Amino acid sequence: MSNLPLTNREWGRMVIDGLRNLGISRFFMSPGARSSPLIAALAECDDLSVTIHYDERGMSFAALGHAMATGFPTVCITTSGSAVANLLPACVEASHSGVPVIFVTADRPPELRGTGANQTILQPGIFGSFVRLVNDLPCPADFTASKETLVAALSEAVALSTGSNPGPVHLNIPIREPLLESNDAKTSGAIFPFKITYAEASRLPVSLDDFFASDSGVVVIGRLSSREQKGVTAIIDWAKRLGWPVFCDPLSGARLISGVVRHADWLLQRSDIPPPKRVLHFGGALVSKRIGKWLSACHGDDYIQVRDSPLPLDPWDQKPHVIRIDVLEFCSSIEPQPPSCNDWLSAWKAADASVASVLQDELGDKAELSEIEIARLAARSALERGHKVFLANSMPVRDFDASAEALASKSSYVFGNRGASGIDGNIATIAGIAMANDTPLLAIIGDLSALHDLNSLPLLLNLRVTLVIVNNHGGGIFRFLPLPVTAVNREKYWETPHHFGFANAAAQFGIEYHSPTSIPALKDLLSAPSERARILECVTNRGDNERLHKAIADHVRKLDLKWPL
């Protein structure tokens, strides 16, 4: 290829072809005039899968969900201006979750920046520190280097998005008018693929015999990627051989496996539970603040984190000893040393069983809908039917964490946006996860999260998604926060009460809708197979939910539990 200036059409083809030859096959886009060369190139590629959505924020969260479920990068393409700003929430979540998303943003040419020109903002750097790379490429007409130079830039973006610190990257592409030339001559010569190199996991640097010598240690399995969740049964088997109680975050994929501690969040509302002497923490962060605070008694070499991610994880200032290695590789490299005494493990098993009995006493066979039982029923249904699960932030993920049973013999894929833990983009993320494979997905989401992302409901069409919306007409989680305010002000200014339902929204977007009014009715719906998207709206009461949580906590505090000295 000569060093003549490129046309916009040629530039667009080279960018899309380069990404495709680097292994990217999944693209998400929101239409816009400035991105026409990129869109035209996508339209010419029959072998690429492209999702088109009018809302850039929802589109980017769908790309996030797809990359989260597969572990492979997705590409988001937008036009210029505020469209780019709409990508920031998904970029923040991708950054904190270590999810590889490549943001390709069309831009006005650089000479228009700072002039007040229409739809022109300063796009390079708009994502701040949340991206692993920013590359402000030249306009096509200004690019006279070889095509290998462009592919090297694309290769760097893909490699950084998937490397030792995976996450989002930003390629900004200024384009001058005319945006799309009528000349349809294609570039000559194929764009060759670059080999992407990945950082190797570090080897285990120390012996852990002294660490394992404690009789009162715990194993904690935090949030895991989809790849790690696939092998989580091996982690559980390893942990059980160690002989310490095992605590599993709901987003670890291990929370529903039999033999793990199910109800630690309830138990740790008591003040008499002794802290552990050692903590072995696999993977990422935990949903439960109570468990995190309880683990904070261990510091330094008494708290070992095993995780491949270089992102910091020390919210309790414990200064843990971090072993940067793949979790599954660690378990295959180290033989656990069981403790000399099993009293600590036995005490936790007995306490956990006691809380399970409390939940049965408080919930029993009651027919009325409760938020705790909705989470428990959804967990049982997902296990029975082999569905993947998405847990939205606020109360759904917490109720699942604290109260779900553990009846499985193998891992269950469980996802959630816990990087930044926002309520935005949840429906779009659910859609992206469901697009990643043909497995049905069961999602539990609160009413405010659903209202926040109604624009994304069309993304669910033609997907096998059951969206359980727990509608308590406000922010029920604020009932559980220690806010020194009056009940009236708390409801008005924090809980954001409303009277909206979701039947009409489902009808507008052509989504199947049901409103079960009892646990048996919800159970019947969850047991019935569905080949299309559907909404199951479960209306609950914030006050009743608060009282039920309080009754269970009070009951747990009165249990006669024995702990080894």
Residue span of the structural domain in which 468 resides: 365-555
Last residue of a domain, one of 313, 329, 352: 352
Counting residues of the chain whose pLDDT is more than 70, the rounded percentage is 94
Residues 376 and 336 in one domain: no
Q: Does 354 score more than 90 pLDDT?
A: yes
Q: How confident is the model at residue 559 (pLDDT cuts 50, 70, 90)?
A: very high
Tell me if 537 is assigned to some domain.
yes
Per-residue pLDDT tens digits for 362-414? 998 889 999 999 999 999 999 999 899 999 999 999 999 999 999 988 888 99
pTM given for the model: 0.93
Last residue of a domain, one of 150, 174, 198: 174
Q: Does 117 score more than 90 pLDDT?
A: no
Residues 331 and 287 in one domain: yes
CA dihedral defined by 401, 402, 407, 412, rounded to 10 degrees?
0
Q: Does 160 score more than 50 pLDDT?
A: yes
Residue 435 CA: distances (Å) to CA of 439, 519, 535: 9, 29, 17
Residues 429 and 528 in one domain: yes
Residue type, 55: D
Counting residues of the chain whose pLDDT is more than 90, the rounded percentage is 77
Residue 304 phi/psi, 5° resolution?
A: -105, 125
Residues 377 and 306 in one domain: no
Residues 330 and 376 in one domain: no
Residues 370 and 341 in one domain: no
Tell me if 148 is assigned to some domain.
yes
User: What is the reported pLDDT for 3?
Assistant: 59
Q: How many residues does the chain have?
A: 565
Separation of alpha carbons 73 and 52, rounded Å: 17
Q: How many domains does the chain have?
A: 3
Residues 64 and 116 in one domain: yes
For 186-233, the DSSP string reads: PPSSPPPPPPPP-PPPPPP-S--HHHHT-SSEEEEE----HHHHHTHH
User: What is the reported pLDDT for 531?
Assistant: 87
User: What is the reported pLDDT for 319?
Assistant: 94
Q: How confident is the model at residue 200 (pLDDT cuts 50, 70, 90)?
A: very low
Tell me if 376 is assigned to some domain.
yes
Per-residue pLDDT tens digits for 38-57? 999 999 988 899 999 999 99
User: What is the reported pLDDT for 209?
Assistant: 81
CB atoms inside a 10 Å sphere around CB 367: 11
Question: What is the rounded average pLDDT of the residues 267-274?
Answer: 95
Q: Does 261 score more than 60 pLDDT?
A: yes
Last residue of a domain, one of 127, 153, 174: 174
Tell me if 220 is assigned to some domain.
yes
User: What is the reported pLDDT for 192?
Assistant: 46
Residues 238 and 95 in one domain: no
The CATH number of residue 544's host domain is 3.40.50.970
By the 10 Å C-beta count (0-12 exposed, 13-18 middle, 19+ buried), 129 is classed as exposed
Residues 283 and 253 in one domain: yes
Please give the DSSP secondary-structure letter assigned to residue 485: S
Per-residue pLDDT tens digits for 406-455? 998 888 899 999 999 999 999 999 999 999 988 899 999 999 999 999 99
8 A C-beta contact, residue 536 and residue 369:
no
Tell me if 2 is assigned to some domain.
no
Separation of alpha carbons 537 and 442, rounded Å: 13
Residues 6+ apart with CB under 8 A from 447: 469, 470, 471, 472, 473, 474, 498, 500, 502
User: What is the reported pLDDT for 46?
Assistant: 85
Separation of alpha carbons 187 and 14, rounded Å: 8
Q: How confident is the model at residue 190 (pLDDT cuts 50, 70, 90)?
A: very low
Separation of alpha carbons 191 and 522, rounded Å: 53
Q: What's the whole-number average pLDDT of the chain?
A: 91
Tell me if 262 is assigned to some domain.
yes
Residues 66 and 160 in one domain: yes
Residue type, 474: G
Residues 394 and 536 in one domain: yes
Question: What is the rounded average pLDDT of the residues 512-516?
Answer: 98
Residues 169 and 250 in one domain: no
Tell me if 200 is assigned to some domain.
no
Per-residue pLDDT tens digits for 290-325? 999 999 999 999 999 999 888 889 999 999 999 999
User: What is the reported pLDDT for 183?
Assistant: 63
User: What is the reported pLDDT for 128?
Assistant: 95
Separation of alpha carbons 448 and 423, rounded Å: 8
Tell me if 27 is assigned to some domain.
yes
Question: What is the rounded average pLDDT of the residues 467-474?
Answer: 97
Q: Does 203 score more than 60 pLDDT?
A: no
Separation of alpha carbons 449 and 140, rounded Å: 41
Q: Does 286 score more than 90 pLDDT?
A: yes
The CATH number of residue 320's host domain is 3.40.50.1220
8 A C-beta contact, residue 219 and residue 245:
yes
